[in-house]
Amino acid sequence: MELSKRQETILEIVKKEGPITGEQIAERLSLTRATLRPDMAILTMSGMLEARPRVGYFYSGKKPGQELAEKLHRITINEVKSVPVVVPEQCTVYDAVVTMFIEDVGTMFVVREGGLLEGVISRKDLLKNTLGGQDIHKLPVGVIMTRMPNIIYVEPDTSVWEAARRLIAHEVDALPVVRLVKAKEGQTDLEVVGRFSKTNVTRLFVELGEGGY
């Protein structure tokens, strides 16, 4: 983040003299408090300065960007996830396309009884098979889906940063959010409890830009 000359000066003053009130900073610079307000807002929102009521401003010692990085590691999938859209393995490609339109999603999860994850079906999986000349009224999604154990997923307490990293690293649009459940013979099943997609990342980005979180 680029700071203006005046913002650099304010940082220097607070570093040396903090805690210091807005009034005092304005006096040092021979400016009014109103003139300084946008600068103070930028410096506190970026986390470089902290403001305490009745005490004043002090220097947090944090580099620009560090605050945001900490937030992204702290916010969990549970706070931002969406409701999953699921279909059974026997669902036909035709019905899956219809569901995708009705539910307005790009990725659906294929589950068996108990909401246990079997596979993932994406827009292009469906597109490819509607062009393939097969009878999409008969073809079940179980035949064309990407299947376990090749599914990239996250758990509710995974950080949004880690989840977004997986989206990029594996070049996919969405991840199922799962809860691990013990199955027989020491195996683990994945119960689908949510959906995390690029839309969730974009929404969070907008909220962070508005000063939310």
Q: Choose, by CB under 6 A, the member of 15, 33, 62, 123 that binds ligand ADP.
A: 123
Number of residues that bind ligand ADP (CB under 6 A): 16
Q: Choose, by CB under 6 A, the member of 150, 157, 169, 185 that binds ligand ADP.
A: 150
User: Residue 163 in 3-state DSSP?
Assistant: helix
For the chain, how big is the Rg over CA atoms in Å? 25
Question: Closest distance between ligand ADP and the C-beta of residue 2, in Å?
Answer: 35
| For residue 176, cis peptide bond before it (omega within 30 degrees of 0) | no
| Other beta carbons within 10 Å of 158 | 19
Q: Choose, by CB under 6 A, the member of 76, 82, 122, 199 that binds ligand ADP.
A: 122
- Chain positions 30 to 59 lying near ligand ADP, rule: CB under 6 A, are none
By beta carbon distance, the residue nearest ligand ADP is 124
Tell me: does residue 151 bind ligand ADP (CB under 6 A).
Answer: yes
Q: What are the strands, taking DSSP E only, across the chain?
A: 49-52, 56-59, 86-88, 107-112, 116-122, 146-147, 174-182, 188-197
Tell me: does residue 197 bind ligand ADP (CB under 6 A).
Answer: no
Sign, CA torsion 27/28/30/34: negative
* Tally of CA atoms within 13 A in the half-sphere of 115 that contains its CB: 14
- Region near ligand ADP per CB under 6 A, out of 19-27, 85-93, 147-155, 177-185: 147-155
Question: Closest distance between ligand ADP and the C-beta of residue 202, in Å?
Answer: 15
Closer to ligand ADP by Cβ: residue 18 or 176: 176
* CB neighbour burial string for 37-66, b if at least 16 within 10 angstroms, e if fewer: eebbebbeebbbbbeeeeebbbbbeeeeee
Tell me: does residue 124 bind ligand ADP (CB under 6 A).
Answer: yes
- Region near ligand ADP per CB under 6 A, out of 69-77, 80-88, 93-101, 165-173: 165-173
Interface positions with ligand ADP (CB under 6 A):
106-107, 120, 122-125, 146, 150-152, 171-175
